[in-house]
Chain A
Amino acid sequence: MEGKVKVQVNEERSFSKWFYSRKTQRIITIACFMFIPLLLLFTFTYLPFGKMVGFSFYKMKYIGERTFVGLKNYKKVFSEPEYFSSLKLSFFYMAGALVQLAISLYLATVLSFKVKGGDIFKGFMFFPYLINGIAVGFIFKFFFTRGFVFDTVLQWCGFNLDKLPYWLRDQGVNNWSLAGTSIWRYFGQNMVLFIGAIMSVDSELYEAAMLDGCNKWQQFFYVTLPNIRTVLFLNVILSITGSLSAFEPPYVITSGANGTATYFVKMHEVAHTSQKVGQASAMAVVLLIIILFATLLQNVLLKYAFREAEYEGPEQNIRKKKIRINTAGRGKK
């Protein structure tokens, strides 16, 4: 009898010992803390991703029969002009994105140094980023309406209303108008990112440059630009992939009318208005492949472009830049 009880106690003790041991605790903590996030990631990202790829081979609606059609949906993406040609509209947004990068880079350079009222300027320019997309849609529908805000300002500048186009209707300009709203919304956000990058540049480098008599342009080209090139490059790539998936401006402002339907707007229409789920999935997969390809290309380019810098190590790099500044300063004198 006594022996039996002892064994039981021992067992209990060893269970609690096992339960409270670091190793078990570790496993339990890892499992508990990761279960929900991974479940959510799986349910709302990877499961739909897998399903989407699957759907793209079927002719189907959300409800009802599905028929396997092989690659027919993909062939349609490339052969039917209304689908693939809408990708051409991305060029408007790409051009807009490049203008936006230039503007934000300029403003960031100016605002990184002491400027009177700098925070207020920064605040005004950044705020559009925090406005919700639907509100932005209404604001710019209003802004571009015939005879309204934009036209009035242009008239102040001496333009004749009769000679101005309909900004959202005329096919020659409406995509530029939409790309413009995108610039308006994001240039401040881009600027804040660049300011962050510029602020992290070693201030010693600027001092060295000043001592060597560099002017502001030389400082920008020989100190700022080389030091923020990673962020800059990333933003260029991001704006290219972002342009390919341009969606919001045409969706909320023109609903894709008058030749403003970008690839994603078309896809949304195919998926939710005409409910050709298979076709929409194929469109999504094609775009995803293009974006992944662009990202891959970016990584290769990034590695190639910065190979030299990595090889030299940071210290030598700084020294080299200082030398470069020296020569640049002298050249000007």
Chain B
Amino acid sequence: MDDNTLSIVKRTVLNVLKYISLVFFAFVAILPLVSVLITALKDDEEYATTNVMALPQHLNFANFAKAFTTANMGRAFINSTIILIVVLLVSTLIGTQLAYVLNRFKFRGNTLIRNLFLFATFLPGIAMQVSVYEIMTKLNLINHLYGYIIMMCGTDIISIYVYIQYFENIPTELDESGIMDGASYFRIYRSIMLPLLKPAIVTSCILKGVGTYNEYYCANLYLQDKTRLATVATSLYTFVGPLGSQYNMICAGVIISLLPALLVFITCQKQIYSGLTTGAVKG
């Protein structure tokens, strides 16, 4: 064997090892999800008598219906949709406006405000809920959908960075030509900047949307009336306690709750990746 064949053999072996490692980690990532799906498809008897990893004999979707009604997920989906729409609208509006002002105007306090938003990321959110809870009580915002929505609009920092970064790539000549034409600053923001920002808005809405949809700690704390005000994430709390051993139903509930995220992921994979990367580099 000469050097050349030796290096080909070596390369092939390395290649095979590479694929084995990739398959291994992909397997690790989806094994828990696959097992949950398998179990969700089994009826009570089959679940009780077979191993959890044994494939179901026939597909049985009754668990999904049962989980959906038991956890009142219809109501939860409506609530989550309302929350998502309002939070995304408001946070896009105030986020782009703030980024516009911070990027296009030089004024005293500009850097200070940026730093205030930056420093806020260091404050551990969960720890702060001790005192946020007190403020929410005083403002009478607990146990109201709008209270939770207002709070969720306020905790938005990463997307402001995404917007600011995007603004930096929009040439200021556009602003100037708008000013020459006599447009007001609001008009410039509304008619020139907002349309140009569309890709950034899509990206940060997806990230913020997934984050809002999955948020459960504050939802649990501030939307205590679980029959009326549960979100999709908190509706899963129904399965804690006496129902805790009916895993085939619980698994079905889990699958239902992650379907929207899966859908968004499949359709917007690229934007999610790019949004994460820009957000992380700046933040």
Contacts and interface: CB of A to CB of B under 8 A. Distances in A.
B207 to A, nearest CB: 10
Interface in B172-226: 179, 184-186, 189, 210, 213-217, 221
B135 A51 contact: yes
Interface string A125-148: 111101111110011101101011
Contacts of B265: 123, 126-127, 130
Contact of A139 (B32, B137, B273): B32
Interface SS of B by simple majority: helix
A94 interface: no
Interface string A104-134: 0011001100011001110111111011111
A52 B123 CA distance: 11
A41 B132 contact: no
A196 B273 contact: yes
Nearest to B28: A184
Interface stretch (A8-16, A76-84, A170-178, A185-193): A185-193
B1 interface: no
Interface residues of B, number: 88
B158 to A, nearest CB: 13
Interface stretch (A27-35, A203-211, A313-321, A323-331): A27-35
Contacts of A40: 94, 150, 153-155
16 contacts: A30-B107, A33-B100, A37-B97, A45-B120, A52-B131, A107-B25, A119-B269, A127-B265, A130-B262, A132-B232, A133-B214, A135-B257, A153-B53, A192-B277, A193-B280, A247-B126
Interface of A: 22, 25-26, 29-30, 32-34, 36-38, 40-41, 43-49, 51-52, 55, 62, 103, 106-107, 110-111, 115-116, 119-121, 123-128, 130-135, 138-140, 142-143, 145, 147-149, 152-153, 184, 187-189, 192-193, 195-197, 216, 231, 234, 245, 247, 264, 267-268, 271-272, 277, 280-281, 283-284, 287-288, 291-292, 295
Would you list the 10 A-B pairs with minimal beta carbon distance, nearest first? A40-B154, A196-B277, A284-B127, A132-B214, A33-B97, A48-B131, A51-B131, A29-B185, A44-B154, A124-B26
